[in-house]
Structure 1
Amino acid sequence: MDRLIYTAMTGAKHILEQQATTSNNLANTSTTGFRAQLDSFRAVPVISDGLPTRAFVVDATVGTDFSTGALQMTGRSLDVAVQGKGWLVVQQPDGTEAYTRSGSLKLTENGVLQTQNGLNVLGDTGPITIPPDINLTIGTDGTISSAPNTGQLNSVNVIGRLKLVNPDENNLVRGDDGLFKTKDGVPAENDPNVSVVDGTLENSNVNIVDAMVSMINLGRAFEMQMKLLQNAESNATKADQLLALS
């Protein structure tokens, strides 16, 4: 009897956790460069002094869906999307590197290139500073060039180059802030094969239809686990009645 209770109880608990993951994916369908989270269930035996006759369910996070999202043209010079595999590199408050696909950038009052969340975007030599009053363009290799708004308009200067990396996806882990880091903590090296598109943003790769179907299936699975617990309670009540009669 308690085997059934173990399975149904832990199954219901982790179904709720998986629903939270699916809800988070749905909430980020409009988040630029968002990568959907993936989960799966697995059975784990209960280790005790007795025989391992009981098992419970664990929601094991498989990882992340790294497939690319659709590109959307914006025409904004500070919008950039990574084509295919690859990442933009940002600097976290503690000075370490993190990786993102969200290329909606901005300039601070001091001309420092940042993400919309206020993290410095890194170039080959560190944070990138943009001079004032210039026309900004970003090449496919991440090179940031400028032309003055006045004077010699054909005078183009190279300001810097975005640091573009493509670390092994198996070595990436998602943080609570949605940014990715390497599991071993070693910064990724520049990858010349990574390219970007200026004036474009990458949409989330969450499939809304699949996520909604998953929510429905998880709701039905939760109801099934609740019925199993009710059946276990009913069986226990009938067993007590039989023992009382004997």
Structure 2
Amino acid sequence: MDALIYTVMSGAERIQRAQAVHANNLANLETAGFRANLEQASAAQVKGFGYDARHLSQARSDVISARAGSQRDTGRDLDLAIQGDGLFAVAQDGPDGAEAYTRGGNFTVDAQGQLRLGRHAVLGAGGPIVLPPHDKLEVLADGTVSILTAGQTELQPVDRLKLVRPDFAQLTKNEAGLLVTRDGGTPAPDPAVKVASGKLEASNVSAVEEMVATMNLARDFELQMRFYKAADSMAETGNRLVRE
């Protein structure tokens, strides 16, 4: 009976991890550009002599939903939304400034003129984008950032956002919730990726889907506990027969 108990408890642990994935998705329902994590389960045989009858459930939560979120108009120059497929490039935390990617486009400019997404520097063709003092800013559809400085009558291009379009199957999330490539590679800029200014893309999390999944997992957990009690009862009966 220990083989059955092992399998049941492994399944129950997988369900608890899956519930954490869906809870995190729901917590980011209002996070601009957030991409939902998808939880997947598979069966694996325990290796080693005498363990052929023992199996465990393995959970994966590093698969990302590529579904687009809805977009809303904000009218703010530094709110940007990618049209179709594509991602913004930003710098990760750390001295190396490795690249990460996101659909979130609620950018700001800090006191030093650096374009930022939260605490992350937004990357352009030559690295982090730094803007000189300006009176007006405009981002074109191809990601070109132009500004109007004092005394000028025409917008002048400063840099161009790095826009990439990697295969979503090759992406996962880092500790900050940003997208990174599984192999550590750096996708090249894709000139076909377009952006719209004055818009923000919402999270692609569906509250209904997440709640239904959570309820189904709760029922599955109850079923696993019934199996566990049944296995425990069978083991107790077998031990009593041996004693008698």
TM-score by length of 2: 0.94
The yes-or-no answer on 1:134 pairing with 2:135 is yes
What SS does the aligned partner of 1:47 have? coil
Please identify, of 19-28 and 84-93, the stretch whose mean Cα deviation from structure 2 is larger: 84-93
- The separation in 1 between residues aligned to 2:51 and 2:82, in whole angstroms, is 53
Tell me the amino acid that sits aligned with residue 72 of structure 2. Q
Point out where structure 2 has 5 or more consecutive residues left out of the alignment.
none
Aligned to 2:4: 4
- The separation in 2 between residues aligned to 1:29 and 1:174, in whole angstroms, is 17
Cα drift, residue 51 of structure 1? 5.6
What SS does the aligned partner of 2:123 have? strand
Aligned to 2:107: 105
Q: Deviations over 1:157-215 (max 9, x none)?
A: 11111111111223222111111122222211110100001011110001100000011
The yes-or-no answer on 1:95 pairing with 2:97 is yes
- The separation in 1 between residues aligned to 2:74 and 2:28, in whole angstroms, is 19
Q: Deviations over 1:116-139 (max 9, x none)?
A: 2x1111111111111223211111
- The separation in 1 between residues aligned to 2:46 and 2:218, in whole angstroms, is 26
Q: Deviations over 1:87-125 (max 9, x none)?
A: 111112332111111111111111111112x11111111
What SS does the aligned partner of 1:209 have? helix
Tell me the amino acid that sits aligned with residue 184 of structure 1. D
What SS does the aligned partner of 1:56 have? strand
Equivalent pair of 2:105/2:117 in contact (CA under 8 Å):
yes
Point out where structure 1 has 5 or more consecutive residues left out of the alignment.
none
What SS does the aligned partner of 1:237 have? helix
Matches within 5 A, 1:47-196: 47-50=47-50, 52-61=52-61, 63-92=63-92, 93=94, 94-116=96-118, 118-148=119-149, 151-152=151-152, 154-196=153-195
What SS does the aligned partner of 1:224 have? helix
Tell me the amino acid that sits aligned with residue 173 of structure 2. R
Distance 1:78 1:16, change over 3 A: same
4+ aligned runs moved over 4 Å, structure 1: none
Distance 1:220 1:202, change over 3 A: same
Cα drift, residue 54 of structure 1? 1.5
Cα drift, residue 235 of structure 1? 1.4
Aligned to 2:237: 238
- The separation in 2 between residues aligned to 1:241 and 1:97, in whole angstroms, is 62
What SS does the aligned partner of 2:90 have? strand
What is the Cα-based RMSD across aligned positions, in Å? 1.4
